[in-house]
Amino acid sequence: MISFNYETDFLLDNEEEISSWVLKVISSEGFKVEEVNYVFCNDAYLHKLNVEFLNHNTLTDIISFDYSIGKIIQGDIFISTERVLENAKDFKVSFEEELHRVIIHGILHYCGYKDKTKDEIKLMRNKENHYLKQLG
């Protein structure tokens, strides 16, 4: 089950489409979903989580807490819509495109993809781009 939760005024206008897409990506990667909760919030909310749980005193666009066991995915993905908007401007893409990239980025982490080294980042970007093309 994919659920969407909101700590700000932001609302996805296509929850069903996004949910279906995320489930297809998970299946394509050979996993099954137990439960994924997306929480859309602002910078202050996500910064607090970043400091409290990860000991990082920085702003970020996404934090994911992975509770997966084997090939069964479950977790909580927190996304700062403020940071996504800023990043979209910086990368000269639409807010929607950047939001979709971040939404699937968290899922790809659950599927085992990392983004610490140059090679890992390249593979992550390739996977994100591949799955972004499959949305709508």
Q: Which residues does the annotation place in the binding site?
A: 105, 109, 115
Please report, rounded to a whole number, the percentage of residues in the chain having pLDDT higher than 90.
96
- The pTM is what? 0.94
Q: Directed axis angle between helix 43-54 and helix 81-91, to 10°? A: 100
Q: Which residues does the annotation place in the binding site for Zn(2+)?
A: 105, 109, 115
* Domain with 122 in it: 2-133
Split at pLDDT 50, 70, 90, the class of 107 is very high
Count of domains forming the chain: 1
Mean pLDDT across 72-80: 98
Give backbone dihedrals phi and psi of 25, rounded to 5 degrees, phi first: -65, -45
Place of tokens 């140059």: 118
CATH code, 117: 3.40.390.30
